[in-house]
Amino acid sequence: MSQAEVKKVRRKMGKLERKNTLVAYSFLAPNFIGFAVFTLVPVICAILLSLFEWNGGDISKMKYVGLDNYATIFATKKVAEKGIEYFFNRADLGIALKNTVYYTIVTVPLTIACALALALLLNKIKGAVFFRTVFFFPYVSSMVAICVCWSFMLMKNGPVNQIIMALGIDFNKGWTADSTMAIWAIILVSVWRNMGYYMVLYLAALQGIPRELMEAATVDGAGKWKQFLHVTLPQLKPTTFFVSVMMVISCFKIYDVVAIMTEGGPGRSTKMLVTYIYDEAFVKIRYGQASAISMVLLVIVLLVTIIQFSSEKKFSND
Amino acid sequence: MKKMLSVLLAAMLVLLAIPAMAEDQVITVVTWDATTTPYLAAQKEAFEAANPGVKIEYVDVASQDYAVKTTTMLEGGDKSDVYMIKEIDNLINWQAQGFAAPLDTADYDMSGFVGTEANYAVDGVQYAIPFRSDFWVLFYNKDLFDAAGVEYPTNDMTWDQYAELAKKMTNAEKQIYGTHYHTWLSAVANWAVCDGVNTLADKEYSDLLYFYKLYQDLEDSGACMSFADLKAAGLHYSGAFANGNIAMMPMGYWYVSTLIGYNKDGTCNFNWGITAVPHLEGVPAGSSFGNLTGAMINAKSENKDLAWKYVAWLGGPEGAKATASVGARPAWVSEDVAGAMASVEGFPADETSKGALLPSGVAMEWPVAEKVADIKTIVNEEHSMIMAREITPEEGIEEMNERVAELFE
């Protein structure tokens, strides 16, 4: 081929490539536009807003305050005076942070354990389809209905306490009206509602474990427990990774259960980061401060996710 | 052909204009519980009858989310003409955000509001007109008192006498409670502001101690349902009292119209009456606290003159009669209005109940004050801790004092 011909072909290829790229972009565009309008722009606005004092009215009344909003939510003056204990025991952000982290640390492993246990139970039993539907049902039910029903069940003389009392444990407290139990009521409802969904993910993963591996393990003399520990569990690692990432993110964003069941109370015992943001933004109409808290939440979720992804290799199937 | 076309076009224009000419002018009013609040229907009917060709259209917003949703609507540039105001600080916020149109009240008679309209003024400019002024009274179930052979409560009763009466009326066997406290701070401890001196924003809360102790004593003795159960069950006070097993209940005057409605539709069929709320020794009998409900004109309304006509009517004597006609208490106070309130069908006929319509003083439930939204959050958080018995009333009050003081450091 002469040089001129090569150039010609290249030009043609270039054209084709450009055309292909354009087609690809046009397919991506609707999604990207949606993302930009409903996620990217609001996030950028929130970052900027966290540096302003604004009550939502006239935009000309927005006042640049630098990092003052952050100083307020972190109660820097008081912390400098009274130490870091002040932040975690008295400041709203510290308490909300503590509650949210506590909720996440308990809910994530508990949900994973319940979902996995259910999936293992339902993997090969008769009538599995029926039970799968039953356990999946809470996930598609209305959150408000679920929370209201659970509120009734967790009353002082409600059925849950009756069962606990029947077991011989002296327990006579209304769960949502007690500052130590209220967060457990929220954990309980969250685990109960979400385990069905994650069970389905685990069931799919269980179906995907090659039968040969199990057979090989049996031939090698591994019992059921060892099979689970050395074959099933390692094979489920990618699913566990996915589930844990999704769960940590959703746990940090907990709002609905709290809003319906406890409204953050009693006192501040179930105040979470998002209920705090809501309170600042829509009750006290301080958008700057609310945006600053959202930035704290964003950074935390981002950090946790980065840590999780950096250990992704450990979770891959090898 | 051209002529034909122009004639046709002209005819079409005329046809299009006819319905527009005949169309009523509409005032959109943002409010809460529009379908279940009797006075809203009465006001609409009376205003439309007095102003032919003008229609009121309510925009219904859920009661408990009212402040949040309406603020979002206003921020979004909503053009509804009138916004009703549930809490005074909503208006103060909206005014600061530029959503409330200033009202020209130079020629408007506000004497009937007996000074309450000042709560809706900022820097001497009126931004809203009150049309309802609720204060708290004590409801009681006459049938239960008759059955127990105990004398009815009176308009001059101290809190100690009230507590004694509540215990006397309690009958655990028959599941009769002497009294009922809704979970709100206002139902339990707000009474401290009735003296007209204390307020909930005065940064000092030791005046609430007496009322928390009184409540806990009643709860311990089984004279009222426990806070924990009420909270978990989400039991609404209206249903609780209507059940017929509660002898007394301090509640806002608005409950009168609910009870009249319940009597009419058969939800409850017992006889009831109202008295002034009990008072502390040294505070005049008939002292109560209350709240205002008003209406403001949206700064973005394209119909401000007509909206003002409606708002002015709503607060004034004519609107007040419509409000009173269903048992709600208007902000405009006059003998006419008091007469209208007492003559509502279903309102208890006894003199004590009529006497309770004339409180000796009404303090504001929450004053207009700096950082009042933050103070509200703190006081309510500590209130829920005290009520749930997580902390003692003394500890709770100390926390209120400390945390509110920190706000101003």
How many residue pairs from chains A and B have C-beta atoms closer than 8 A? 91
Please say if the pLDDT value at position A3 is more than 90.
no
Q: What pLDDT digit, counting tens, does each position of B23-45 carry?
A: 789 999 999 988 878 889 999 99
Indicate which CATH number applies to the domain containing B99: 3.40.190.10
Specify whether the CB–CB gap between A250 and A261 falls below 8 A: no
Pair (B193, B46) in one structural domain: no
Mean pLDDT, to the nearest integer, of A188-212? Answer: 90
Pair (B237, B299) in one structural domain: no
Q: What pLDDT digit, counting tens, does each position of A34-78 carry?
A: 999 999 999 999 999 999 988 777 777 788 888 888 988 888 888
Please say if the pLDDT value at position B208 is more than 80.
yes
Using a CB-CB cut-off of 8 Å, the residues of chain A touching B72 are 282
Structure tokens given for A100:
């949210």
Q: What pLDDT digit, counting tens, does each position of B103-112 carry?
A: 998 889 988 8
Partner residues linked to B43 by β-bridges: none
Pair (B75, B7) in one structural domain: yes
Helix A182-207 × helix A143-153 angle, to 10°: 130
Mean pLDDT, to the nearest integer, of A306-318? Answer: 75
For B400, the domain range is: 135-289+362-407
**Rounded Cα–Cα distance for residues B215 and A195 (Å):** 42
Pair (B281, B295) in one structural domain: no
Pair (B31, B152) in one structural domain: no
Question: Are A265 and B384 an interchain contact pair (Cβ–Cβ within 8 Å)?
Answer: yes
Please say if the pLDDT value at position B235 is more than 90.
no
Q: Are strands B125-126 and B287-297 parallel, antiparallel or unpaired?
A: unpaired
Question: Are B387 and A266 an interchain contact pair (Cβ–Cβ within 8 Å)?
Answer: yes
- Comparing A179 with B136, the larger pLDDT belongs to B136
Pair (B121, B150) in one structural domain: no
Q: Any idea which residue has 């970052």 for tokens?
A: A47
Please say if the pLDDT value at position B344 is more than 70.
yes
Please say if the pLDDT value at position B409 is more than 90.
no
**Half-sphere exposure of B293 toward its Cβ, with a 13 Å CA cutoff?**
22
Pair (B78, B166) in one structural domain: no
Please say if the pLDDT value at position B17 is more than 60.
no
Using a CB-CB cut-off of 8 Å, the residues of chain B touching A57 are 75, 96-99
Q: What pLDDT digit, counting tens, does each position of B119-152 carry?
A: 898 888 999 999 998 889 999 999 999 999 999 9
Band of the pLDDT at A318, cuts 50, 70, 90?
low
Specify whether the CB–CB gap between B295 and B84 falls below 8 A: yes
Please say if the pLDDT value at position B216 is more than 60.
yes
Using a CB-CB cut-off of 8 Å, the residues of chain A touching B387 are 266
Pair (B161, B176) in one structural domain: yes
**Minimal Cα–Cα distance from B87 to chain A, Å?**
12
Please say if the pLDDT value at position B8 is more than 70.
no
Question: Are A176 and B233 an interchain contact pair (Cβ–Cβ within 8 Å)?
Answer: no
Please compute Rg for chain A using Cα positions.
26
What pLDDT, on the 0 to 100 scale, is given for residue B271? 92
Percent of chain A's residues with pLDDT above 90: 37
Pair (B149, B231) in one structural domain: yes
What pLDDT, on the 0 to 100 scale, is given for residue B87? 85
DSSP state of B330: B
Band of the pLDDT at A214, cuts 50, 70, 90?
confident
What pLDDT, on the 0 to 100 scale, is given for residue A199? 92
What pLDDT, on the 0 to 100 scale, is given for residue B274? 93
**B61, B65, B231: which to substitute to probe chain A, counting the most A Cβ within 10 Å?**
B231
Pair (B141, B281) in one structural domain: yes
Pair (B161, B264) in one structural domain: yes
Please say if the pLDDT value at position A128 is more than 60.
yes
Pair (B54, B154) in one structural domain: no
CA angle at A111 for the pair A110 and A113, rounded to the nearest 5°? 65
Structure tokens given for B365:
């439930």
Mean pLDDT, to the nearest integer, of A209-237? Answer: 85
Q: Does an H or E element contain B358, and which?
A: none
Question: Are B233 and A179 an interchain contact pair (Cβ–Cβ within 8 Å)?
Answer: no
Please say if the pLDDT value at position B21 is more than 70.
no
Q: Name the domain count of chain B.
A: 2
Please say if the pLDDT value at position A176 is more than 90.
no
Specify whether the CB–CB gap between A135 and A120 falls below 8 A: no
Percent of chain B's residues with pLDDT above 70: 95
Mean of the per-residue pLDDT values for chain B? 87
Please say if the pLDDT value at position B22 is more than 60.
no
- Comparing B217 with B343, the larger pLDDT belongs to B217
